[in-house]
Structure 1
Amino acid sequence: MVGVTPEGVEVPRSLVDREMQKKLQSMPKEFQPATPVGPDPKWRYMWRIGPRPSNTRFKELNAEPVIPEGFPEWKDTMDSWGYKMISAIEAVAEMAAIGFDLPKDAFTSLMKQICRKEPYLLLFHDMVQVHGPHLLAPTGSDLRRHGQEGMVFAGYHYDLNFLTIHGRSRFPGLNIWLRNGQKMEVKVPVGCLSSFKRESRSDHICTGSHIEWLTAGECIAGMHEVVVTNRTIDAIKLASEQHRSLWRVSSTLFAHIASDAVLKPLGHFAEFPEASKYPSICAGEFVEKELAVINLKGNKGEL
């Protein structure tokens, strides 16, 4: 999962998940997401941030980053920005752990898990540090070709990773759903990273499936979409008048739990009645199944 993903490849979850489709039909009309008609018309470049694990069961998820030809500054630029975003994610993860009455490193330790090289070796030198397959994924959509109001760039979905953070996009269009089902447009201030604070219109960290698993559903994966709205149309007109690019670009970073770490409810969350819905599973196995559903790995799979 590194390198380029062209438009027309990734399939939004809401297009293939029948249970999700039933839920959408029961929503009040004003809160329903836009309906995608096919794969997302967006381009994405996946760039690995952080060192790869020296030993992992999930080599494909932890592949070497791909450097495109003709960009000598590519690695330094991408790493510089990516590490800043990871640093922000780790700070939020520590604050979330404290807020959930867990040890400060409850989440961050799983992003950099210490594992044995072999199951039965216990000596210190037989231990290795396994890093999460964090991906900086700048995402672009051509508004000159796909700038019609109602065009869906990223159909209604949740993220399959731990936490997601964005740089401010050049054009508006990101909608989120609060836990009560209310739909809201995200507005990220200039100079800020978007960090899905779910009750706010300013900035937000998008909660993914991993944190839902680790908290037994106390913190659910945030639903969201990217669609051309009337505000997007206004921004397109202004950009055209100013002779600026009509590509909608956002610098998304997907932070992951280490592929070989186990997802299961942590601490007191293991006592929640809902904990049985979140059985133990390797993060890498979970991610592979989710990728298959949205057409980013092999044939369609199911969880």
Structure 2
Amino acid sequence: MSTNPTQTDLPDGLLPVVDLDIFLADPESSAAQAECTKAAEALITYGALIVHDTRVTEEHNETFLSLLEDYFAQPTEVLKQDERAQFGYQVGVTLENTEKPKCAVDEPCLRVIERLAPSERPLDIGGHQPDPKCRFFWKMQTPPPYPTAFPSLNMPNVVPAAFTDTWESTLEAWGLKMKEAVEGVARMAAAGLGLEREAFTDAGKYGPHLLAPTASDLTKYGQKDTILAGFHSDLNFMYG
């Protein structure tokens, strides 16, 4: 009998923890199958889960975060050199007060908020201005083995001038850890749903996968109830 708690056994406020190590060790084992079922049920019930993946260490995380902290500490005029508005900010930096949260004006998205229990609803963004957060998009996609005119597949990544020695290697290293974990969960979810294990990963093989760290200046926007990123929905399959 499995000793894993069921979804209803979880303490309030906690998400299911899915053990990717068990799946990677032997995807055909009964323990791995139980984890796959848990992953699928968690995504159906909560739309989120916690991943246990020992391939990722705190050192990897600290190296990545330290670089991003140094990057966003630069003056605004320096950061603006990394904007690519002509590509819809889908590579490079998006500075504060640029992105507007969709749900502030989108009726279907507002209906999503209305359906949530009052204790689960986000802060009211009806009069919210553009998000005060910053963000950086770094492409982590696999180039397709054929020519394409699809813009997001042809945009070059942006390497900040002050970090040419470390930027690409650091973002690629952390991005690969994230992508491997997400793809692992996608395989687990597919198996848990009774699909072929590669059903989701094959469908997204050449998709525009992004590493998208965000940053907020709490010396300017640290007041209680400040909305750093407005509630929104989008078309992404899975976030890591």
What residue in structure 2 maps to residue 29 of structure 1? 118
Question: Residue 161 of structure 2 aligns with which residue?
Answer: 69
Given that 1:62 and 1:133 are in contact with CA atoms closer than 8 Å, whether structure 2 keeps it comes out as no
Separation (CA, whole Å) in 1 of partners of 2:96 and 2:154 = 23
Q: Does 1:40 align with 2:115?
A: no
Distance 1:97 1:22, change over 3 A: closer
1:24 Cα deviation after fit = 3.0
CA separation of 1:23 and 1:88: change in aligned 2, threshold 3 A: closer
Q: CA deviation at 1:56?
A: 2.3
**Aligned residues of 2:137 and 2:213 also touching (Cα < 8 A):** yes
Deviations 1:75-96 (A, max 9, x none): 1111011111111111101100
What is the TM-score when the length of structure 1 is the normalising length?
0.46
1:137-286 aligned at under 5 Å gives the runs: 137-165=212-240
The answer on whether the counterparts of 1:97 and 1:107 sit within 8 Å (CA) in structure 2 is: yes
Q: In structure 2, what is the Cα distance between the partners aligned to 1:96 and 1:80?
A: 25
The structure, 1 or 2, with the larger RCO (C-alpha pairs under 8 Å, 6+ apart) is 2
Answering whether residue 109 of structure 2 is matched by residue 10 of structure 1, we say no
Show structure 1 runs of 5+ residues with no match. Answer: 113-130, 166-303
Q: How far off its partner does 1:49 sit?
A: 1.2
C-alpha separation in 1, matches of 2:120 and 2:186: 29
Greater percentage in helix: 2
More strand by share: 1
| Distance in structure 2 (CA, Å) of the matches to 1:22 and 1:155 | 15
- Distance in 1 between residues matched to 2:93 and 2:105, nearest whole Å: 23
Please list, as runs of the form range in 1=range in 2, the aligned pairs for 1:50-65 lying within 5 A after superposition.
50-53=141-144, 54-65=146-157
Deviation, structure 1 residue 13: 1.9
- Poorly superposed stretches of 4+, deviation over 6 Å: none
Higher mean Cα deviation, 156-165 or 79-88? 156-165
How far off its partner does 1:41 sit? Answer: 0.7
Q: RMSD of the alignment, in Å?
A: 1.8
Q: Structure 1 counterpart of 2:195, which letter? A: L
Instruction: Measure, in 2, the Cα distance between the counterparts of 1:34 and 1:101.
Output: 38
- Range 2-11 or range 59-68, more displaced: 59-68
Count, aligned residues: 147
Closer, same or farther: CA 94–28 of 1 in aligned 2, 3 Å: closer
Shift of 1:10: 1.3
Change (3 A) 1:23 1:138: closer
Which one-letter code corresponds to 2:157 in the other structure?
Answer: P
Matched, 1:97 2:203: no
Measured at CA, do residues 12 and 76 of structure 1 come closer, stay the same or move farther in structure 2, by a change above 3 Å? same
